[in-house]
Amino acid sequence: ESITLEVGTQTISLPGDVLFDFDQADLRPEATSLLQRVANRLTEQPAARVLVVGHTDDVGEDNYNLVLSLDRANAVKDFLRDALPNADQFNWSSSGYGAAQPVASNDTEVGRQRNRRVDIIIAP
């Protein structure tokens, strides 16, 4: 399996606890200012490909976490699309990986918190 990294590709990693309440996929009201800043950044890159990826910790059933991570990714993607007047110029996609791509150990609360996140990958 090969991996291609495109020049200019950016990843913005957003902490899940800022965006969502525990075990929920509805955006918290406090998340809007952070997501609006991301939307503003996207306006600097018209016609970019935007992949929104949800992640969870490993607590709970795998299938449940996959669905939760995708629902969270879609909530962020929908917010960004609604926030951008030129949203149709972007190529949007979303996916959820559940607990499959941790960035920290799931053995501690701090690690689990870091793993609960949404990544926004922006490619030219």
Tell me the domain boundaries of the chain: 10-21+46-123
Which run of H or E residues covers position 93? strand 91-96
**pLDDT, tens digit, 9 for 90 and up, residues 16-60:** 999 999 899 999 999 999 999 999 999 988 889 999 999 999 999
**DSSP of 74-109, one letter per residue?**
HHHHHHHHHH-TTGGGSEEEEEE-TTSS-SS-TTSH
Distance (Å, rounded) from C-alpha 79 to C-alpha 4?
28
Q: Is the pLDDT of residue 83 over 80?
A: yes
Is the pLDDT assigned to residue 118 strictly greater than 70? yes
10-21+46-123 topology per CATH: 60s Ribosomal Protein L30; Chain: A; (3.30.1330)
- What global pTM score does this model have? 0.91
